[in-house]
Amino acid sequence: MSRTWGITQAIDLAQAHERMTATMSIPLPPVPKEKRPRPVQVRAKVVGVRVVGAYREFTLHAPGVGVDAQPGQFITLGVGGNSSALLLRRAFALSGVDGDTINVVVATHGPGTRWICDRQLGDVLDLIGPLGRPFPAPPPGGAALLVAGGYGAAPFVGLAQRLCAAGHAVAAVLGAATGDRLYAVPEFPALTRVLAVTTEDGSAGRTGRVTDVVPELLPGASVVYACGPMPMLRAVAAQSAAYGLICHVSVEEAMACGIGVCMTCVLPVIGDDGTSRFLRSCVDGPVFEGAKVRFDDIGRLPDDLYGAAAMRATR
């Protein structure tokens, strides 16, 4: 593996998981067994910065990160520099991969993302990736409906490219509160058979929300993919389920470590056995089947959750 700007270090999630479990009285859930690209830690150089409406799109030279990476996966960035009190990393969806360069889009939410948005050409960022589960493939020959809110469209450019290359028909709904919070709209006409754009204030496309358009497009779809704010995901998952379609959602949860150790990104998900468990968005997700995510219980400890009694006892 090539080296650049310091280090290129492979991360073994299974070993990190075993070490952490050995020090805990309650074992962590197992790391998913499916084969994924092994994440690496690199010092990634900023080679491009582009203002896209309310966002900053960064192109980073990050050798080894894009190898076998798939749409739906993400990277994490250290923020604030070596002497900063900002200890937690920030997670960003991969919005593009081209050899040793990757793209991520950043929206300013707080001190960490403001620090990243202030980076200039030539600056170096501590980066780990690719991380997380990608979007599953649609059924053979099936048509896909992509539904994005704001910069939730970031992973859908690569997904739409892959779906088109595999012969799947693609439709997309891109929405935001205002026109400047839409992302990647110019890229989608060439990748979709149907493209709908919505804004809540009517500054671009149709006035309204993505959920106003989704029912119109569900009849032509075989599977739905959604990425955006949690209320939007809950609504799109419900609309899809009512129509009998599987909806794969990429959830927005704070992922501090990105490797399943810190447990800050857990959310209640119904398993294949019908039992609900806390799953970690960073390693069990961020892509989940929407109908299995208990959106109404996020941030709570439901009584019927596996292990709930023990969790309450340790509070």
Lookup: tokens for 268: 């209640």
Nearest to 218 by CA among 163, 173, 156, 166: 173
pLDDT of 253 reads 79
How many domains does the chain divide into?
Answer: 2
Q: 158 and 106: one domain?
A: no
pLDDT of 2 reads 32
Quote the pTM value.
0.87
Domain range for residue 109? 8-131
Q: 110 and 187: one domain?
A: no
Q: Percentage of the chain with pLDDT > 70? A: 86
Lookup: tokens for 314: 């340790």
Q: 194 and 228: one domain?
A: yes
- For residues 45 and 307, which has the higher predicted lDDT (pLDDT)? 45
Question: Is residue 98 included in any domain, yes or no?
Answer: yes
Per-residue pLDDT, averaged over 195-215, amounts to 97
- For residues 86 and 280, which has the higher predicted lDDT (pLDDT)? 280
Q: 94 and 188: one domain?
A: no
Per-residue pLDDT, averaged over 217-221, amounts to 96
Q: 186 and 170: one domain?
A: yes
pLDDT digits 0-9 by tens, 220-239: 999 999 999 999 999 999 99
pLDDT of 306 > 50? The answer is yes
pLDDT of 106 > 90? The answer is yes
pLDDT digits 0-9 by tens, 50-62: 999 999 999 999 9
| Domain final residue pick, 250, 271, 297 | 250
User: Which of the residue ranges 95-109, 133-147, 241-255, 259-273 would you say has the lowest mean pLDDT?
Assistant: 259-273
Provide the CATH number for the domain around residue 115.
Answer: 2.40.30.10
- For residues 167 and 306, which has the higher predicted lDDT (pLDDT)? 167
pLDDT of 256 > 90? The answer is no
Are 50 and 56 in contact, with CB atoms under 8 Å apart?
Answer: yes
Specify whether the backbone of 64 is left (phi greater than 0), alpha (psi in -120 to 50) or beta.
Answer: left
pLDDT of 5 reads 33
Question: Is residue 267 included in any domain, yes or no?
Answer: no
Q: 160 and 119: one domain?
A: no
Q: 18 and 116: one domain?
A: yes
pLDDT of 258 > 50? The answer is yes
Quickly state the pLDDT bin for 38 (edges 50, 70, 90). confident
**Calpha distance 296→276 (Å, rounded):** 13
Please provide the size of the chain in residues.
Answer: 315
- Give me the amino acid identity at 91: A
Are 147 and 156 in contact, with CB atoms under 8 Å apart?
Answer: no
The whole-chain average pLDDT of the chain stands at: 87
| Domain final residue pick, 91, 114, 131 | 131
Question: Is residue 39 included in any domain, yes or no?
Answer: yes
Owner of token pair 């739906």: 72
Q: 155 and 102: one domain?
A: no
Question: Is residue 257 included in any domain, yes or no?
Answer: no
pLDDT digits 0-9 by tens, 6-32: 345 565 656 555 554 444 444 455 555
Q: 105 and 144: one domain?
A: no
pLDDT of 3 > 70? The answer is no
User: Which of the residue ranges 18-22, 87-91, 114-118, 262-266 would you say has the lowest mean pLDDT?
Assistant: 18-22
pLDDT of 127 reads 95
3-state secondary structure of 225: strand
Quickly state the pLDDT bin for 259 (edges 50, 70, 90). confident
pLDDT of 84 reads 64
Specify whether the backbone of 206 is left (phi greater than 0), alpha (psi in -120 to 50) or beta.
Answer: beta
**Calpha distance 299→238 (Å, rounded):** 19
Question: Is residue 227 included in any domain, yes or no?
Answer: yes
| Domain final residue pick, 192, 222, 250 | 250
